[in-house]
Amino acid sequence: DAGVTQSPTHLIKTRGQQVTLRCSPKSGHDTVSWYQQALGQGPQFIFQYYEEEERQRGNFPDRFSGHQFPNYSSELNVNALLLGDSALYLCASSSGAVNEKLFFGSGTQLSVL
């Protein structure tokens, strides 16, 4: 039973570029959430997707957008990258409207130079 998988594991970009991160949820899960974790900080909620729609959103600018596909996998897109976007981006999956438990992937470490 595969857990939450994310790709790529590491990514280096320059300011102004765009990036796409990918996530496959744990088997049986249909809800995907994205979090940003800066060094030495707790994860910060970006948004959550359920039934291919954004259900909740945190305090992140519109440069951060996402998508969920019919197979429940998800993408996080960040446009016009800033140095401050450098962080570990974590994907978490859960099971729909019943179970609050979130299971995290290993993350994508994004460095913006």
Partner 1 sequence: GENVEQHPSTLSVQEGDSAVIKCTYSDSASNYFPWYKQELGKRPQLIIDIRSNVGEKKDQRIAVTLNKTAKHFSLHITETQPEDSAVYFCAASRGHTGGGNKLTFGTGTQLKVEL
**Residues at the site binding partner 1, with contacts judged by CB under 8 A:** 4, 31, 33, 35, 40-45, 48, 50, 55-56, 58-59, 90, 94, 97-98, 100-107
C-alpha–C-alpha distance, residues 11 and 49, integer Å: 23
Q: How far is the CB of 16 from partner 1 (least distance, A)?
A: 28
Q: How far is the CB of 67 from partner 1 (least distance, A)?
A: 17
Kindly report the backbone phi and psi dihedral angles of residue 49, in degrees, each rounded to the nearest multiple of 5, phi listed first.
Answer: -120, 135
Contact status, residue 31 vs residue 47, Cβ threshold 8 Å: no
Q: How far is the CB of 35 from partner 1 (least distance, A)?
A: 8
Neighbour tally for 69: CB within 10 Å: 13
Is the CB of 10 or the CB of 15 nearer to partner 1? 10
CA dihedral of residues 103, 78, 81, 7 (deg, nearest 10): 50
